[in-house]
Amino acid sequence: MAHTDTRVGGSASKTQLFGSTLKCAATIIAALQQWRRTIARRKALVDLTPDQLRDIGHPEVNRPVLVIKAGLITNLMSMR
């Protein structure tokens, strides 16, 4: 009678594990590169004046704005 051996796991699981490790490393490297580009872009935009920002088509900087409607003080004083 012929005798056959079967092997389970071994090289197939190592290949799959190695492939997922490479994919994870590639994802981390891509995220770090994107982060570095974002930081460089922000540093470059900080030095520009509002006129230069408009020239390159960048939207206005979001700054807090205090909006006071007409008659607000009168309404607040009447509630007192």
| DSSP code for 80 | -
Q: How many residues does the chain have?
A: 80
| DSSP code for 61 | P
The pLDDT value given to residue 51: 86
CA–CA separation, 36 and 13 (whole Å): 35
CA–CA separation, 19 and 65 (whole Å): 51
Q: Does residue 12 or residue 18 have the better pLDDT?
A: 18
The pLDDT value given to residue 15: 55
The pLDDT value given to residue 65: 77
Any idea where the domains of the chain sit in the sequence? 11-79
Mean pLDDT over 58-79 rounds to 79
Confidence of residue 14 (pLDDT cuts 50, 70, 90): low
The pLDDT value given to residue 31: 95
CA–CA separation, 70 and 66 (whole Å): 13
Tell me the pLDDT tens digit for each residue of 26-66: 999 999 999 999 999 889 888 888 888 888 888 776 667 78
CA–CA separation, 36 and 39 (whole Å): 5
